[in-house]
Amino acid sequence: MSLDLLLFYLFSSFALISSIMVISLSNAVHSVLFLILVFCNVSGLLLLLGAEFLAFLLLIVYVGAIAVLFLFVIMMLNIKQNYTTTKFISNLPLIILLCLLLIKIFWETVHSNFIFITTKDIYWISWIIENSSRQNIQVIGNVLYTNFSLLFLSCGLILLVAMIGAIVLTMNQRINKKSQRIEIQLNRKPNKVIKFISLRN
């Protein structure tokens, strides 16, 4: 068995086990952590396929932003566990129906679109040799910053306006708020600072 085939089986099995753990765990924080593990394994599979741009994009967007956002929201909401259990037998017909539907979709997809590759056609590609050639990230970056540079800058401007709008909406602005004015404090007169009051004996 070649190394790339071994890595493929390793990443795919870990992704399958982690996805099952996501939907089976009762703790939401643990489910999000296993979801991050699923994204990491899928990015490893994309690296094996040679799509390094999609792999890094999956790590940056989903793991670095969305999954971490889910984790912070769950930790801030402090969701309590629901200990009410349902019987497995009552959900068994629905589970069987969904499994048969997924198997049918997978079988039709494999026979219509995919072509099985034998182990003789799979060969190891050395990344040291491929380092001298142009990669997907270089080609996509060249296209983004030349042909679609105006659209790329427009997307960045829209995201900047959205970020500024979110900051402005969350600011608590009050008209009658008392604030410290440094220029009035520095321009005060020393003879009006202390006031002597005669008290009765």
Q: Encode pLDDT of 68-87 as tens digits.
A: 788 777 777 766 655 555 56
Per-residue pLDDT, 158: 92
Architecture of domain 3-85+117-189: Up-down Bundle (1.20)
Check pLDDT > 60 for residue 190.
Answer: yes
Nearest to 50 by CA among 156, 137, 158, 159: 137
pTM for this model (two decimals): 0.55
pLDDT of 132 > 70? The answer is no
Q: List the chain domain ranges.
A: 3-85+117-189
Contact 40, 59 (CB under 8 A): yes
CA angle 19, 24, 27 (to 5 degrees): 105
